[in-house]
Structure 1
Amino acid sequence: MFEEKIAKQAYEKIDKRRPRWTNEEEVRLTWITALETALDIEIDAERAKQDLSYNNVIIEFKARGLFKGSDKSAKFKEAMQNRLLPYIKTAAARTGIPEDEHIGIAIDGEHICFAQVDDGAITHGHLLPFSPESVGMVIEACRSNYRRAVIAENLLADFGHASAAASAVMQALADCLAGALASTKRTKIKMLFEEWRDLYGQVADLSSEQVQSIDQQLRFKWRGDRLHAMSGRLFVIHTYNSLVIKLLAAEIVSAHELTTTQSPAESFCAVLSPEDLIEQLESQIERGELFSGAGINGFVEEAIFSWHLDAARSKKGGEQLVPALKALIGKLALYRTDRLTRQRDALRDFYQGLVPETMRKSLGEFYTPDWLVELTVSKIKPADWLGPRFLDPTCGSGSFLVEVLRKKRAAAKKAGKTARQTLKLLCEEVWGFDLNPLAVQTARVNFLMEIADLIAEAPGKPIELPVLLADAIYSPAPNPDGADKVVEYKIGSQIAALTIKLPSTLAFDRARLDQVFALMGEHVESDHEYGRVAKALISQSVLSAKEAAEWGAPLKETYDQVLALHRRNWNGIWFRIVRNFFWSATAGTFDAIVGNPPWVRWSKLPEAYRERVKPTCEQYDIFSKTGYHGGNELDISAMITYTTGDKWLAQGGKLAFLVTQTLFQNPSSSGFRNFRVKPKVNLIPLEVEDLKGLKPFADAANKTALALFQKASSKPSYPVPYIVWSPADGEKRNIKPALTLSEVLTKVKRTPMEANPVGDDGSPWAVLPKGRFEEIRQLAVPSEWIEGRKGITVDLNGVYFVPVVDVNEDDRLIQIQTQPNSGKKDIGAARKFWIEPDQLFPLIKGASDFDACYFAPEGSLHTLVPNSGIRRAHFEAADSELAGLPKTKAYFKAYKPLLESRSTWKSRMAAQGAPYQSIYNVGEFTFKPWKVIWAEMSSTFRAAVAGSREVPLVGKRPCVPDHKIFFVAFDDESEAHFLCGLLNSTMVAQYVEAHNVSIQVGDIFKHMRLPKFDVKSAKHREVAELTKVAHRIANSAKREKAVAAVRTAADGLLHDWLATHKAV
């Protein structure tokens, strides 16, 4: 490692001259020469003022050994009080740089000590022995220039991938992990990795380009099985991130004098031997003794990322990891952690800098910019910030918690609250849950950074930060009818697979459960059987003899499972993890719930987790009943909205979540839009801020909405105020994450609209200008005479959608060519086949084949339609027809394995006896001569009429739409053109676009009624004729005038028709 090498060279250069030192001057000159070489600079040492000054680092040298190894010695005190203190004060006055940003260093050749001036007084750290590590810290101090602030830029520079020290630690961890995974033994490292991977680290399939991009961003390599290349490196990053922030938290606790442990980073880096370093990291950091000693209980409770200790104890890890860790920790010693003034969530930004964007996207991780956090929290509008309890049930790094903490601290200060009073209310009124252990630890550190000064001002008050490892969907709960005496709860993946069974009375009594679990944890560590535990529970008055007897069976079953894990090289920390989950069940209700729940689709969740939470989700009845709209493909943010609103939101409380805007219009979210949590309990939508016109997340193109709900027994009332955001004139859609909310508001337009369901409960919302929905309400009725159809589903475009390349009139055959690039499946190289023309039809491929009132397909693709319907009789007829078409039959047979692997054929058709070449969404409507078509996916709604086109050797045949086209089929040309004219009217386009997701239109007639064509009506005939005229004009400019005439006539007709229906 480059930095380590430089430090070692400097150390060796100094050490070589050390035995010959006889005075201070020799010490000084040797050090200056070594530092000049290490830093590649020239140092001007002004002996009249101080021994050495470089930037804002001031070094005082003394003759070898004058400190006598003690900070109580006279010469040490002289170096601090009489030399460094006045030097720093003078430098500060001369440069204008505050005293507390200078770094003082005292060196006597045997020891090194760092110092700083705060409030006019000088304080110092450990007396560090002369070593490569302590020399490296001096070099790093000179290079850093200032005492480092805890901001993302500094953290990423010192601990991100650009840092050689950081890369060395991650490389060492990666090598140890790869070795453990390659071993045939069931090591602790392997089991922890598998547990983490199954629950948190399932990186979605990545393309080779994405993998290459990740490789370029990461500065450490994966030298193990390529199967684990992505998840293995992510596990390393998470482990590393967790360690860095826990070490940072230790520095914060020490800097605020909350513990007797002084400057832990200095101690870990330069004082301790490798063995002692590992032991101290385990006891003080991973077991949380440093934090509990400071009165902060339960601060570190996860075990998954503690495997770095096992790695460091291994032979390879000891050689590679420990020196790298020491170099890394040395950087932390230079950070200023006594005063924490932050504008942004530095730990969130640090994590985003560590994990490549491609990886985060595949995991569904999108961290909320501060301005959006502020906007979300502002929606709650409490009468007083003191008193209301807040929860972020998926708190991530803790950004929303930090925002609420700051609001409450400001209110407490204004109200004259003492530090002790403020600390108490913050720990009672601001809570966070998350299922990811790294997120929980990060949020706890963020919480600590916000209240560390209060803890220092309220000595002797033990606290526990209410940031829990807990599940917002699946949490422990008593049986609703109170019949069960035992609560059963599953945690962990298939690797740990814990089924916790607890007596109901105990499970929801937090204080007593903590006592039981604490005692059980001690006995697991000692490898005791449950019989000994049962006696201890009674003898130590944790349980009565009667309780121990009645509760013995479930307690023993739970204990035995954790003991078994301990004996497989896990440890008793599982009781602390379980305790968190049950604490969430006793957290009580909250006046406000805020946050940004994960935007992950149901199918992307780990399978084991899906099965575990599915019963909970089903009780809210929010899954779509219609498989054609994705079935269970609901975003889990919708589920979290319901579960948290039910379990933790107080009656009358408010919930403000950032969710995907499609929840309000997507067909698969109909269950969500019922807003019924349980009988007579509803989440009433109060307001929606629609930000999909912007890009608030720098690394995602999500359709963002901020939704505000209130829990009530009444039913939702409409319209709902709906505010649409768009860029201000001259501004871009991208919003820089560093902007404040007030700055963002100057760059956007917020247009007040209103939202109404277009049908019954659960129907999509129409978003229109105020009052407009009421004017066109009569459109919002299911059609009685029109049914929208979806085009054919073939699932193998390259085989079915083909061009005609040659014609054999003598034998009545046509030659087609397969299209390997027209679908996702690999069908091999392009091939030509001669087939009969009987099953060939002109194809309408997509939105590019038509415009408003104009049909002109690009190219000349045809499609094979081998069956006329999707009932058993149609399939039997298809088999008979194909038997008479030997060339076509041979063509399909050439692709039989691929045809039989198609998802739609397997799931919906095979069981009905469908031949393997059959396609879906076919019926008599497919073959009608006139079709009014519109695209399923389009930014603007438009419709056209498609008729028939030539097929070689056959003549004209009706055009057949692909599944990305919806249509209404007609036998009558005028009727088709009449409907097409209405669909292109301003009124209909506005209504359709108002209640459909912009790229997912579908069957518009489920929620729209239009007048039926009346050949006797002159106005109806006028619309039809104008539409026909427009279809005949190829020139787009001229056609636009014709379409405008269609719109005018259609809007007038609809206006009169709506007026008639309103009167009725």
Structure 2
Amino acid sequence: MKMLAAEIVSEHGLTAYPDFCEHLLGLDDNSLLSHLESEVERSAFFEAARIKGFVEEAIFSWYADATLSAKGRTVIANAIRSLVTQLSLYRMDDLGAARSRDVLKSFYQALVPEPLRKALGEFYTPDWLVEIACDRTTVTDWLNTRVLDPTCGSGSFLLEVVRRKRLEAKVKKLDAKATLELILESTWGFDLNPLAVQSSRVNYLIAVADLVAEAKAEVELPVLLADAVYSPARSPKKNEDVVEYQIGSTQSDLRVMIPAPLAFDRERLDRVFSGMAECVEVEHSYDEAENYLVKQRCITKNEAQIWRSPLSDTYKQVLDLHKRDWNGIWFRIVRNFFWSAVAGEFDLVVGNPPWVRWSSLPEHYRNRIKPTCAQYAIFSETPFHGGNELDISGMITYTVGDKWLKVGGILVFVITQTHFQSPSSQGFRSFKIDKSTGFLPVEVDDLKKLKPFPKVANKTAIMRLEKASRKKPKYPVPYRVWEKAAGHSGTIPEHASKASVLARVSINEWEATPVAGGNSPWAILPKGRFKDMAAIQGESDWIAGRKGVTCDLNGVLLVRIVDVNEPEGLVKIQTRPEAGRTDIGPARMFWVEPDLLFPLLKGAADFSACHVHIEEELYVFIPNRGINRQDYADAETVVSGLKRTKSYFKAYKHLLRQRSTYKLRQSGAPEYVIYNVGAYTFSAYKVVWAELSSVFEAAVVTQGAVPVIGDRVYVPDHKVYFADFTSENQAHYVCALLNSTLVREYVQSHTIQIQVSNIFKHLKLPTFDAKNTDHKKLATLSQSAHGATSEPKRSAVLAQMDQLAERLLMAFGSGRTGASV
């Protein structure tokens, strides 16, 4: 990437080299590596072309100064010559085509292993999606709009913004110098990945190289190594006016302390850092470095005395790193982070921030940014619904909106759609930045039914927010739902044009409304439909949604029964190595007592609307009847009396103790206890619905046979949610209501598949009345549907049930109760 930039600089006549790559090919090994170190890695070549700070992060310069054998130097030099030879075959004089799209995107993705990119949340945005996101900004004057992409990656959004600015400049007949000055002042990018920053700088250079050549101006491309979540700020500690900032890596944890007047004066800070870097290179003490800074007029004698404590602390840390062979990096890196703090305010923030769940972030980084996240109160109030699983793109939205977006400015992000409906994003949906400032949601494009990113199945949306002072969000919010058009696939080709994408989709103009006001999940429905559902909006305080049992070692605790020994009262079970990620070894068979085994309802494949059809007969061990200390003690007493079952658990004791729920919530209990179990688990009647299902459907489950024992209640697995009842009629009545078209549409409008849990929190159903003829008839119809002997018969009953349920629900909403006896 650096060599590509050098060739572009040469081709545009900005240096003494007419062809940089050909020049390198004429050098011997030592000269080649030495030349690359001084000209490229230390940026002398680019500085001579009056392009400042183009190569700063020395992280990728290891090849130039690593201690190698003569053979090793030859190997590296030959590899570089091969690369340079290939590069010299390309033309760099006409970059028109390269300015219109991110030509380095695929190259960057090929350099970074796919598992690492996924871990970093780096899904680089297709060009057509970049264009549409920029369209959604509704900017009419690109040339005079200050734009920031705070997680710019390889620079796709920056390229599109520069392209639009250049088109407007051409219409207004601006000369190269004026156009270049406007672009450099108003088009900025940040990224935390050094490789992405270098890629983006090269793309930026491609976009403006001809203007740089024509303007003959000194330039610095405003693409910074910077953190969109955690940026330098005045320390709240003590009375010192100091900026404290930590930069962590696997090699060090550098705590930078800079006097605030210096930290926010970029030109002076650059001079001070440059002077310090020179002193570090020759291993001066801080006193010598301080004298040098005063002599070079970087700081005054008075400032040197006042600032000695923070500057000496920072200098000594970097000097120590230098002595451990981490020289040449830190002042360059710190310079970028502090530049971001004085970037000023922007009219528009646009981009595609990384999508990484909180639990997937490195622990040291979570600890560093947690106070920032708490400041905006964007964690969910309910940790058991994923309070700490907020996606980092949500955090970036708030930090960037607060620090860099001006009031009245617009933020457009390609973001995960789950922010609008997931319980984990409850805090995100408050849209409050501080007491007086917040966001106004303007519109959303929902692309979750499509697959815009190759090899990745995620829920994509384009969100437009406006930063406002002392205004509250207004609902409903315009919400476009994208679907594949007839005859087309939902997978979008990677290099499709915007026109071809729009031709293969249909876009429905819907609207979104918080289902219970405030920061509750958004109900996404056709225009006006949410008002039609007023009858069922609210909370059913007489029903609770519950999650099935969590075992966390399904291969051991969810088993098959393969044989029965009636005389001895034993069953032979078989383990399931294919279930779950934990390696439990090969399938094994054990004779155990069946006392703790219950028939299992595994998931969505086991039932549909008013129809239970178990895909595979499995049984679950339920050693404990609750999750309290006494329940664990009782379980231990029971298991101690079951010799063979106890022996079975002992065979897998180590693995049982490694389960996440055991370590987090049940440590100290017997290793075989399970989670999400209580009296409700053993209720006679359960209305169940699946966590992972394309359509919301409910059924009533009762009992199944356990060999030797006889009938026992079905126990739902953790992928199944349920409501528990003691009355058969009441259970079937609720099941009938849940399967109604009105309720199904309402539930699906505000939930996401992975979190269809306590649906009754936002669903108000009329309480079952045993004397109400409509209620009794609904229960009877549900029972008939469950007992239907064919799908046509069941469908006919379901249709009849649907009509009665909707009539009953609408009457409930109007205050009428229906027919009673």
- TM (norm. structure 2) is 0.96
Q: How does 1:796-945 map to 2 (within 5 A)?
A: 796-911=553-668, 914-945=669-700
1:685 — aligned with what? 441
- Deviation, 1:480, is 6.4
Is 1:611 matched with 2:367? yes
Alignment correspondent of 1:634: 390
Comparing 1037-1046 with 424-433, which one deviates more in the overlay? 1037-1046
> Following the alignment from structure 1 to structure 2, what is the Cα–Cα distance between the partners of residues 480 and 1008?
45
Within the candidate set 458, 462, 478, 1:721 is matched to 478
Corresponding position: 1:347 with 2:104: yes
Distance in 2 between the 1:812 and 1:708 partners?
65
Q: 1:664 aligns with which of 420, 423, 429?
A: 420
User: Any gaps of 5 or more consecutive residues in structure 1?
Assistant: 1-244
Return the offset for 1:334: 2.7
- Letter aligned with residue 745 of structure 1: L
Code of the residue aligned with 2:587 in structure 1: it is: A
- The alpha-carbon deviation at position 276 of structure 1 amounts to 1.9
Pairing 1:568–2:324 present:
yes
Tell me if the contact between 2:535 and 2:812 (Cα under 8 Å) persists in the aligned partners: no
1:286, distance to aligned residue in structure 2 (A): 0.8
Deviations 1:849-907 (Å, cap 9, x if unpaired)? Answer: 11101112223322221121122222232233333333333332333222222221221
Aligned position for 2:347: 591
Q: CA deviation at 1:610?
A: 2.2
Structure 1 pair 541–671 and aligned structure 2 pair: CA distance change class (3 A): same
Deviation at 1:617, TM superposition (A): 1.9
- 1:702 equivalent in alignment to 2:458: yes
Cross-structure match for 1:648: 404
The AA in structure 2 aligned to 1:435 is L
User: Whole-Å Cα distance in 2 between the matches of residues 690 and 616 of structure 1?
Assistant: 28
User: 1:495 aligns to what?
Assistant: 251
Partners of 1:398 and 1:447 within 8 A in 2? yes
Structure 1 pair 697/831, CA: closer, same or farther in 2 (3 Å)? closer
- Retained in 2: the 8 A contact 1:753–1:767? yes
Cα distance in 2 between the residues matched to 1:953 and 1:997: 41
How many residues end up aligned between the 2 structures? Answer: 814
Local SS of the residue matching 1:491: strand
Quote the Cα distance in structure 1 between the aligned partners of 2:95 and 2:658: 59
Q: 2:184 aligns with which of 422, 427, 441?
A: 427
Residue pair 1:390, 1:594 contacting (<8 A) in 2 also: yes
Secondary structure at 1:251's aligned position in 2?
helix
SS at match of 2:234: coil
Q: Is the 8 A contact 1:778 1:1061 kept in 2?
A: no
Q: Which of 288, 311, 327 matches 1:555? A: 311
Q: In 2, distance between residues paired with 1:355 and 1:548?
A: 44
- Over the residues paired in the alignment, what is the CA RMSD in angstroms? 1.9
What are the superposed Cα offsets for residues 778-820 of structure 1, whole Å, 9 maximum, x if unpaired? Answer: 4231221100111111122222222333333333333333333
Contact 1:366 1:699 in 2 (8 A): no
* Partner-residue secondary structure (3-state), 2:780: helix
Partner of 1:295: 50
Which amino acid is 1:655 matched to? L
Secondary structure at the aligned position of 1:718 is classed as coil
| Whole-angstrom distance in 2 between the partners of 1:330 and 1:807 | 74
Counterpart amino acid of residue 1021 in structure 1: K
Amino acid across the alignment from 1:668: S
Is 2:542 aligned against 1:542?
no
Partner of residue 991 from structure 1, selected from 740, 746, 752: 746
- Match for 1:589: what amino acid? E
Gaps spanning 5+ residues in structure 2: where? none
* Deviation digits for residues 968-1017 of structure 1 (CA, Å, limit 9, x no counterpart): 11111010000000000000110111111134312211211111111121
Matched residues in 2 for 1:1024 and 1:718: separation?
37
Shift of 1:263: 1.0
Q: Is 1:782 equivalent to 2:539 in the alignment?
A: yes
CA contact (8 A) 1:470 1:581 kept: yes
| 2:610 aligned partner, one-letter code | C
Alignment of 1:938-957 (within 5 A): 938-957=693-712
- Give the residue type in structure 2 aligned to 1:928: S
Q: Which digits, 9 at most, give the CA deviation of each residue in 1:371-398, with x for residues without a partner?
A: 1111111122224222221000000111
Q: What is the CA-CA distance between 1:464 and the residue it aligns to?
A: 0.9
Q: Which of residues 366, 369, 390 in structure 1 aligns to 2:126?
A: 369
Give the AA of the match of 1:780. Q
Distance 1:439 1:1061 in 2: 63
Shift of 1:433: 0.4
Letter in 1 for 2:498: L
Q: Residue 433 of structure 1 contacts residue 440 of structure 1 at CA under 8 Å; is this kept in 2?
A: yes
Distance 2:325 2:639 in 1: 64
What are the residue-to-residue correspondences of 1:390-469 with 2, within 5 Å?
Answer: 390-459=147-216, 461-469=217-225
For residue 234 of structure 2, what is the aligned residue in structure 1? 478
1:610 partner SS: helix
What CA distance in whole angstroms lies between the structure 2 residues aligned with 1:360 and 1:626?
30
Q: CA–CA distance in 2 between the matches of 1:578 and 1:591?
A: 26
| C-alpha spacing 1:863/1:283, structure 2 compared with 1 (3 Å) | same
Give the corresponding residue for 2:286: 530
Check conservation: 1:930, 1:972, Cα contact below 8 A.
yes
Q: Secondary structure at the match of 2:139?
A: coil
Deviation at 1:938, TM superposition (A): 0.8
Alignment CA distance shift 1:312-1:532 (3 Å):
closer
Structure 1 residue 572: Cα displacement? 3.5
Q: Structure 1 residue 306 and structure 2 residue 61: aligned?
A: yes
Q: How does 1:730-769 map to 2 (within 5 A)?
A: 730-769=487-526
- Superposition pairs of residues 177-192 of structure 1, within 5 angstroms: none
CA contact (8 A) 2:234 2:244 kept: no
Q: Secondary structure at the match of 1:888?
A: helix
For residue 356 of structure 1, report the CA deviation from its aligned partner. 5.3
**Structure 1 residue 354 displacement after superposition:** 4.2
- How far has the Cα of 1:777 moved from its partner? 2.8
What is the CA–CA distance in structure 1 between the aligned matches of 2:260 and 2:816, rounded to whole Å?
60
Relative to 1, partners in 2 of residues 1:986 and 1:400: Cα closer, same or farther, differing over 3 Å?
Answer: same
Secondary structure at 1:446's aligned position in 2?
helix
The structure-2 alpha-carbon separation of the partners of 1:736 and 1:830, relative to structure 1 and needing over 3 Å to count, comes to closer
Say which is worse superposed, 342-351 or 405-414, in terms of deviation.
342-351
Q: Aligned pair in 2 of structure 1 residues 893, 391: CA closer, same or farther (>3 Å)?
A: same
**Percent identity (aligned):** 54
Q: Which amino acid aligns with 1:255?
A: E
SS across alignment from 1:756: strand
Distance 1:333 1:798, change over 3 A: closer
Contact 1:939 1:999 in 2 (8 A): no
Deviations 1:468-510 (A, max 9, x none): 0111111101246994411111114141321111111111111
Query: How far did residue 305 of structure 1 move?
Result: 0.3
> 1:311 Cα shift?
4.7
User: Distance in 2 between the 1:813 and 1:276 partners?
Assistant: 81
Note closer, same or farther for the CA distance 1:309–1:359 as it changes in structure 2 (3 Å cut).
Answer: same
> Partners of 2:553 and 2:82 in 1: how far apart?
57
Partner Cα separation in structure 1 for residue 73 and residue 594 of structure 2? 74
What amino acid sits opposite 1:817 in the alignment? Q
1:248 corresponds to which residue?
4
Q: Which moved more, 1:516-525 or 1:593-602?
A: 516-525
Cα offsets for 1:606-641 (capped at 9, x unmatched): 232222222222222222333323342221111111
SS of 2:71's equivalent in the other structure is: helix
Any idea what the Cα deviations from partners look like across 1:547-573, whole Å, max 9, x if unmatched?
A: 111001211111122222222223234
| Contact 1:562–1:572 (CA under 8 A) maintained in structure 2 | no
The normalised TM-score by structure 1 is 0.74
Letter of the 1:618 partner, please give it: A
The question of 1:622 aligning with 2:388 is answered no
What's 2:31 paired with?
Answer: 276
* Aligned counterparts of 1:810 and 1:456: Cα–Cα separation in 2: 94
Aligned-partner residue type, residue 718 of structure 1? Y
